[in-house]
Amino acid sequence: MITQFIITPGEQPKRLDVFLVNREREVSRAAIQRLIELGRIRVNDEVVKPSQKIRPGDRITMDVPKPEPLELKGEAIPLEILYEDDVLLVLNKPPGIVVHPAPGNWTGTLVNALLHHFQTSGGTISAIGGKERPGLVHRLDKETSGVMVVAKTDQAHRHLAAQFKHHTITRVYEALVFGVPKKGHGTIELAIGRDIKERKMFSARTARPRESVTDYHVHRRYGKVASHVLLYPRTGRTHQLRVHLTSLSHPILGDLTYGGRKVGTVGGLDIPRVMLHARTLGFEHPTTGEAHEFTRPFPDDMETVSKGLESMIAGA
C-alpha cells in the first residue's frame, strides 16, 4: 500500500525514522528503518538514509508491502477454563504466556492454545480480531496472570467489546508493589501514551496522551518494604497500571521496565516476574443479559513472594 504526505510548515527538522515512528504508530522503528534501506520509503522520490533530516515541504512516499497471511496452528497447551458456553469462554491465564502471535512469538501463545481447544471440542471462535487475534476482546501482558474472556461468535465479540469501550466491565487487579503508598486509598489520574523516546514504553511523556484513571486501595503492608494493592482501572490503556503505580513511586515488584533493578530483588528475595494479577472480571452476558463475575486468587508464584515478604518483616 502506497501512502504519500507532505511535511507541513512548522515541523521541526528531525530524523526521517524518528518522524515516521511517531506518525505511523502501528509500525516499529526497526521496520521503518528496514523499509527506508530497501527504498520503500523515499523523500522527494529519492532513496535516503534513516538519518535523513525532514523539512517542511518534503514529500514522503511509503510503499508498505502487505503482510504475508499467517497460518496459525492449534497447540496442546493446557487451559484453566472457568466457564464456557456457546458464545464465550472465560479462562485464568497463567503468567509467562503471550496472548497472541507477534514477531518473536509465533507459537506457544494463548491463541494457539485456544485454537487447539476449539478444534478438539468442535467449538467456534470469533473472527473479528483477525487471523492473529481470533476471539480476543482484551489482552493481558505476557507476565500478567488472571481472568480473561474470549468471544466464540462475532455477535458476542461486538457486545463484549462495547462493554469494554463504555467501561461497564467490572475489573479488579492486585499487585505487589515496592514500598507503601502514603494514602491507604486514592485515585491516579494521568494521561498516558507511547513514550516519545522509548517506543516499547508508555508514559505521560507522549505525543498522544489519552485519559487514564485508576482507583487503588492498599490491602496489606509488608512493613515499609512492600505492599499488596488492589487496583480498579476505570480506563484500559496499555501498561496503565504499571505506569500509574510507577508515577506514585511505587512500581510493581518485578517490573524492571518501569521500576528498574530495585524491584527485581527485595531484601534478598528474588521476584520472578511482574507481580500483577487480573483477579476479577465481571460483564453482562451477550445473549442472556445476565451478570457474570469470575474471580481467581493469587497464583502460586505471587503467593510465594507474599509469604516471603511476610517472613522478611516477621524476622526484622
Sequence-ordered alpha helix ranges (H) in the chain: 16-23, 29-37, 110-121, 154-165, 240-247, 256-259, 300-314
Residues 6 or more apart whose CB falls under 8 angstroms from that of 302 comprise 145, 176, 275, 277
Active site residues: 141
> d(Cα 118, Cα 166) in Å, to the nearest integer?
29
CB 277 within 8 A of CB 174: yes
- Burial class, 135, CB count within 10 angstroms (exposed 0-12 / middle 13-18 / buried 19+): buried
Place of cell 512492600: 226
Report CA torsion sign: 197, 199, 200, 206: positive
Question: How many DSSP H helices and E strands does the chain contain?
Answer: 7, 19
Q: How far is CA 146 from the centre of its chain?
A: 13
Q: In the chain, what's the furthest Cα-to-Cα distance? A: 70
> d(Cα 39, Cα 33) in Å, to the nearest integer?
10
Report CA torsion sign: 202, 206, 207, 212: positive
> d(Cα 270, Cα 154) in Å, to the nearest integer?
43
Dihedrals phi, psi of 244, to nearest 5 degrees: -65, -45
What SS3 state is found at 265?
Answer: strand
Report CA torsion sign: 157, 159, 160, 164: positive
DSSP-assigned letter for residue 173 = E
